[in-house]
Structure 1
Amino acid sequence: MRTPSSPAHAGSRAGVGLLVLAAVLPLAAGCGNTGGLASAGPTPTAIGPVHLWPERKGADVPPADPGGAPPEYVPGLPPVAGQDVHSVDPVALVQAELRAHPDITVGPDGMPAETAAAIRACGREGQAPGACPVRAPYYRDLTGNGKDEVVVGIEFPDRMMSVRVYTADADGRLNRIMATTQTVIGVELAGRDVILRVPSGNPGYELITAWSWDAGQRTMLPAREEIVRVPAGAAGAAAPAPGAP
């Protein structure tokens, strides 16, 4: 037969129970916070843009041509079967453009006379190895039509380069959709963009331009530009253009 506990014993056990509960509660609270979110402090108030001189009449942006840019077809080449630009000889392509636009030194078709002469001599017997200014082509679907375009680089004097992109239409005609000549640090393909890195004019900085296909204008345009600081000693900070001596 068990003897009922006295009030003193009952109070003692209650006190022990409270101590155990007090010890367990912090542990339970700690387990509940494990992996939880912690406050990063007060969030700064967002400050929206302030339109300066709102009374001033700004410049107008001419509307885009609803018809887009006219095709820059390359004449004098046979039609491309199945829109497969891989079958096109890039040297023959550039030579065809030279025949169509001879003696032009400025603009998209501009080319120094010595470069034009070297291109005309490409593939001829006696030309020194590496003397042809037309670089090996690259291929990428840049228009999103499921067919590759061909990217051609032409070396100019003084580390300049002409970068051109061609696509084949449904009739097999080659259409030039990009042409620019820059003092080039490097050229990259990123997704459906052609990225050009050129000196910015400010020491220690370079200009990065992303050329993208504009379906409305039916051409590639310099859609984004960014001036970035080049870390001292970084690889490529003062790199020559591809193929330059």
Structure 2
Amino acid sequence: MPPSPCRRPVRLTAPCALLLAAAATAVTAAGCGDTGEPRGAGPASAAVSPSRLWPELTPASRPAYDIGEVDHEVVEGVSLPGGDVRAADPVAVVRAEIAASPGDYTRDGAPYRETARRIEECRVAGEGGRCPVLRPYHRDLTGDGRAEMVLGFRLLPQGMTAVRVYTVERDRLVRIMSYEDAVSGVEVAGRSLVVRSPSEVAGYEYRLRWSWDPRQRAMLLTHDEMLRTAGGGAAGRAPSPAAGSGR
């Protein structure tokens, strides 16, 4: 076996040494300096476990307030031809909600009485003008391969927006998510619904995310965050306290 190139003595003239200096350095690093063993990358930060505060506190026995975590309710009085949620009339869906909650819409002093008046002028959702019902969207939010209906309508005269999600179970229309607030945007992210609302803090907004939970058969509020906006502008109107608000 010939001697190792790392140990064989070689005598070179100066020009040869200059020409082969880089190659010799590379050979030394690759063949002699690297043993193949793992090398340390420096000290690592130690893991820190959560530190519990006030361990003597008695665990709460009930929720502090009801934010409507689970909404799973059959909508009565809405025709659903073929059991397809796309066949549901959005205006009829909102009228059914008004009929089911007259105290919010039709009675004296009802907070959303203007919505009830304007709904009678609606022919098609999203037609603009005085109709408070927004154009519906259809997305698969439950992962069963069928579309759900995401519906929004204005709550007047307060200027808030109601956001609802409906699915179909046994040819019946079922509401699986309900929320209303001062809404600045609604997005679908994967199979989650994200609602953005203005914050009273300049440059920030609330972002609430609902995701499908197969055990509860409803969209649950899984994230409630206060995040800086891209523009970082002035504060918007503080969200109005409303039923279903996560704050």
Question: What is the TM-score normalised by the length of structure 1?
Answer: 0.71
* Change over 3 Å in CA distance of 1:159–1:41 after alignment to 2: farther
Deviation at 1:231, TM superposition (A): 4.2
Q: Secondary structure at the match of 1:155?
A: strand
Deviation of 1:29 after TM superposition, in Å, equals 4.8
| Aligned residue number for residue 166 of structure 1 | 166
1:205 is matched with 204
Q: Distance in 1 between matches of 2:225 and 2:28?
A: 50
Structure 1 unaligned blocks of 5 or more: 1-12, 63-67, 240-245
Contact 1:151 1:163 in 2 (8 A): yes
Distance of aligned partners of 1:194 and 1:31 in 2 relative to their CA distance in 1, 3 Å threshold: same
Asked whether the equivalents of residues 105 and 115 of structure 2 are also in contact (C-alpha less than 8 Å), the reply is: no
Question: 2:75 — aligned with what?
Answer: 74
State the Cα deviation string for residues 41-90 of structure 1 (Å, max 9, x = none): 4322222222223333332467xxxxx96841111122441x31111111
The CA RMSD measured in Å over matched residues stands at 3.6
Distance in 2, Cα, partners of 1:22 & 1:132? 82
Calculate percent identity across the aligned residue pairs.
40
Q: Structure 1's 176 and 120: CA in aligned 2 closer, same or farther, altered over 3 A?
A: same
CA distance in 2, matches of 1:17, 1:60: 88
**SS state at 1:189 partner:** strand
| 1:97 CA displacement | 2.3
Instruction: Tell me which structure has the larger Cα radius of gyration.
Output: 1
**Does the 8 A contact of 2:72 with 2:177 survive in 1?**
no
How many residue pairs end up in the alignment?
Answer: 210
1:55 aligns with 2:56: yes
Equivalent in the alignment of 2:155: 156
Amino acid at match of 1:202: V
Contact 1:139/1:148 (<8 A) preserved? yes
Contact conserved, 1:80 with 1:168, CA < 8 A, in 2? no
Secondary structure of the corresponding residue to residue 15 of structure 1: coil
Asked if 1 retains the 8 angstrom alpha-carbon contact of 2:91 and 2:122, the reply is yes
Residues 132 and 80 (structure 1), Cα distance of their counterparts in 2 relative to 1, 3 Å cut: same
Matches within 5 A, 1:89-100: 89-100=89-100
After TM superposition, the structure 1 = structure 2 runs for residues 207-226 of structure 1, keeping only pairs within 5 Å, are 207-226=206-225
1:43 matched to which residue of 2? 44
Structure 2: where are the runs of 5+ without partners?
1-8, 64-68, 238-247
Equivalent residue number for residue 147 of structure 1: 146
